Amino acid sequence: MTGTIRNRDTFLTEIATRLGREPKLNVQKPVWKHQPQRAVLKDASADELLEVLRNQCLQIHTDLIETKLADLPKTLAEAVKLYGGGPLSLWKDERFDKYGLTNLIENEWPAENIEVNSWDTTLGEKNIELAEQANIGITFSDMTLAESGTVVLLSSSDKGRSVSLLPTNYIAIIPKSTLVPRITQAADLIREKIDNGEQVPSCINFITGPSNSADIEMNLVIGVHGPVKAAYIIVNDC
Amino acid sequence: MAMKFSTKNFTDRTKDNISDDFMRKAVAGAQERLHGRRLDAAEELGNWEEWRSHGEEIRQHVLENLDFYLHQLSENVAERGGRVFFAKTAEEASVYIRDVVEKKEGKKVVKSKSMVTEEINLNSVLEEAGCEVIETDLGEYILQVDDHDPPSHIVAPALHKNRDQIRDVFAEKLDYNKTSKPEELALHAREKLRKEFLAADIGITGCNFAIAETGSISLVTNEGNARLVSALPKTQITVMGMERVVPSFEEFEVLVSLLTRSAVGQKLTSYVTALTGPRGEGDVDGPEEFHLVIVDNGRSEILGTEFQSVLQCIRCAACVNVCPVYRHIGGHSYGSIYSGPIGAVLSPLLGGYDDFKELPYASTLCGACTDACPVKIPLHELLHQHRQVIVEEEGRAPISERLAMKAFGIGASSNPLYSMGAKVASTAMRPLTKNDRISKGPGPLKEWTDLREFPAVGNQRFRDWFYDQKGGK
Ligand code: SF4
């Protein structure tokens, strides 16, 4: 599906005229003189990045839980209890299986009467409703930025935007292998996708802790429009 | 709200605001907190100057090649199924948006914070067309519920209101019956607004940066309202000032880092969202239809002039948060939705000298704004430039500094704003001082000294003064 463009030519010609030249049809991005972003946590090991993330989580009002791969189902089950149980809203994501969570999702939670809803495109808008009613939304992190304590989520038809947004609480499962220094590496990831001829996802979210606002007398209120609480579960997979 | 929101003259506006004690304390407190946090965030990086230089070179390159990047942006938005509309004027923009809303039979519009939609007076246009328009940023929601009180700060729009006032407004307009605790007030707004998000047909957002190479737009918030606005309604309309474009994600990430650090002292805000086109095939959430409205509204006339660098602005409000005059008179005195140093430079350019000629005088030319700016806009020089244009080219009588300062309620001899020192002055002024008063000065201080004598600039620069005021921090 292609979109439309209206009024462009006169608009851009005016800009070129004001700049005192003909419209430009080709511009090469210069080699920037400064690249300070590349120096941040440049040679940090995975453990060092984890330490940075730990500290940053204290700043962003986010609980950080560390676990071994083998213990992940137990840890996640406990975290869900801690945040008040179901209903749960999950992405449809093969990583839940890869990280040994299928039994928890398909058997243990239902046996405990914890409602689990995995994103299912065939249900259409119902997904949004279910996410809205959910107590906890759970997703994996596609990339994790140590410096800022950010999980990067790439949306797709199975990975709805609503899961990390509409539930009252949000849990991100962070494989330690997804840790990178900062948002610079996320830009690099997107560059790689473009170079491979892939489209960028329709929605990329950089999420750093729970939603908050300081709009009333500069008082920090945690939990405004998005989740009220956020927790990261780090899985030691490397 | 159009850009100009007050018919009172500058002096009356300023008087009203200076007598508002809460407002003045709130502004001072907010300035200190935001400024302190920004410094921490900058210091932590260790090489903030290099970051600023990088921000500057990116923004300058984009402006020099703006037609190319907007062309590329529009191509890529269209390729992903979006509809791009270039609007020369405020009217063209708001009429186009109204037509889209009408065609979609939209009744309920949710909006996330956007200065440019204020600039094009969008809410009134949509309301006249029979739509309900709901601001969803907590600060803007408070202002809207309070009969469209104007914003007083570009990042924290309701800064001038205290919690009791907010409680009273909520009680009167929203059946609120709890206390004035910010948590309870915010929860009430959350519950009210969640219903609106779910029921809205149209979502309207601003755009912090658009990314030319991928045709993406980005939204930076802490509350998450912009995510809701762009995830739930069937139609999304994003409105951007034409200068808010960057070449690719590589530059985007640098500018976002500069923005969040400078605006709120955070490494990143809670939500930074990059959206490309309408929802993808098979997606359940996200808009079915996506419109991008690129607004000129006077910006192109700034290109190629001595004021071009003001278009580098990323609307972080760092300059506002260090400005001693803003601190004293508050945001409403500026009479423009853009307040503080950036407002004093930008408002006359976009809105004309007729309405905003005093604003360039609402400055001590101390240079704190320039030092704070993450993209190195020489704000105080541009303010000075405005004064020259007003005097020379516009053929208007110069506005007396003394009168302007009197309007701020600042006594000529007793005020700390003068003695803290103008940056321009602290290097250029020494030899001209006699007995610690300056009588004649060249360059930037000419109009000042032509009109009045004023205390010489102390050795203490504004920054130092500011810390002293903060208690030695
Ligand atoms: S002028 Fe500079 S400091 Fe002021 S809002 Fe714009 S970018 Fe920020």
DSSP one-letter string for A110-155 = HHTT--EEE--GGGTTHHHHHHHH-SEEEEE-SEEETTTTEEEEE-
- Taking Cα atoms as reference points, which of B8, B276, B263, B283 lies closest to residue B113? B263
Query: What's the CA angle centered on A159, arms A156 and A161, to 5 degrees?
Result: 90
What is the pLDDT at residue A44?
Answer: 95
Give the domain ranges of chain B: 10-301, 399-470
Q: Which CATH number fits domain B10-301: 3.40.50.10420, 1.10.287.3510, 1.20.1090.10, 3.40.50.1010?
A: 3.40.50.10420
CA of A53 to the centre of ligand 1 (A): 29
**Contact between chains at A217 and B284 (C-beta distance less than 8 A):** no
**B107, B131 contact by CB (below 8 A):** yes
Q: What average pLDDT score do residues A107-115 get?
A: 97
ipTM of model: 0.96
- Taking Cα atoms as reference points, which of B263, B214, B218 lies closest to residue B238? B218
Tens digits of per-residue pLDDT, B145-198? Answer: 998 888 888 788 888 888 999 999 999 999 999 999 999 999 999 999 999 999
Cα–Cα distances (Å) from B472 to A199, B30, B327, B466, B469, in that order, read 52, 18, 19, 9, 7
Segment among A93-97, B17-21, B176-180, B239-243 with least mean pLDDT: B17-21
| Residue B332 pLDDT class (50, 70, 90 cuts) | confident
Q: Which of residues 24-53 of B touch A (CB under 8 A)?
A: 26, 29-30, 33, 45, 47, 50-51, 53
Q: Which two tokens stand for residue B363?
A: 């400055």
- Residue B19, pLDDT above cutoff 60: yes
Q: What average pLDDT score do residues B219-227 get?
A: 94
Residue ranges of domains in chain A, CATH in brackets: 37-236 (3.40.50.10420)
- Residue B217, pLDDT above cutoff 80: yes
Share of chain A above pLDDT 90, in %: 92
- pTM, whole model, 2 decimals? 0.88
Helices (H) and strands (E) in chain B, counts: 23, 13
Determine the residue type at B450.
Answer: D
* Mutate which of B60, B154, B309, B319 for ligand 1 pocket (most atoms within 8 A of beta carbon): B319
Q: What average pLDDT score do residues A53-57 get?
A: 96
Q: Which two tokens stand for residue B240?
A: 């951007």
Spatial distance between the Cα atoms of B63 and B69, rounded to a whole number of angstroms: 9
Q: Is A209 on the interface with B (CB under 8 A)?
A: yes
- Taking Cα atoms as reference points, which of B328, B468, B378, B371 lies closest to residue B14? B328
Tens digits of per-residue pLDDT, B101-132? Answer: 999 999 999 999 899 999 999 999 999 999 99
Residues of B in contact with A156 (CB under 8 A): 280, 283
Residues of A in contact with B87 (CB under 8 A): 7
**What residues have CB less than 8 Å from B4, skipping those under 6 apart?**
B335, B336, B347, B351, B355, B356
**B175, B189 contact by CB (below 8 A):** no
| Atom 7 (ligand 1) nearest CA | B313
What is the pLDDT at residue B159?
Answer: 85
**Contact between chains at B78 and A128 (C-beta distance less than 8 A):** no
Strand pairing class (A219-222; A179-180): unpaired
- Taking Cα atoms as reference points, which of B364, B466, B462, B359 lies closest to residue B412? B364
Tens digits of per-residue pLDDT, B414-435? Answer: 444 444 433 333 333 333 333 3
Task: Quickly tell me which residue has 């946090």 as its tokens.
Answer: B37
- Residue A230, pLDDT above cutoff 50: yes
Spatial distance between the Cα atoms of B363 and B322, rounded to a whole number of angstroms: 12
**B348, B386 contact by CB (below 8 A):** yes
Q: Which of residues 89-148 of B touch A (CB under 8 A)?
A: 92, 136-139, 142
Residue, of B334 and B19, whose pLDDT is higher? B334
* Number of A–B residue contacts, CB under 8 Å: 302
SS3 B109: strand
Strand order of the sheet with strand A88-90? A62-68, A229-236, A169-175, A136-140, A88-90, A116-118
| Residue B408 pLDDT class (50, 70, 90 cuts) | low
Spatial distance between the Cα atoms of B263 and B342, rounded to a whole number of angstroms: 13
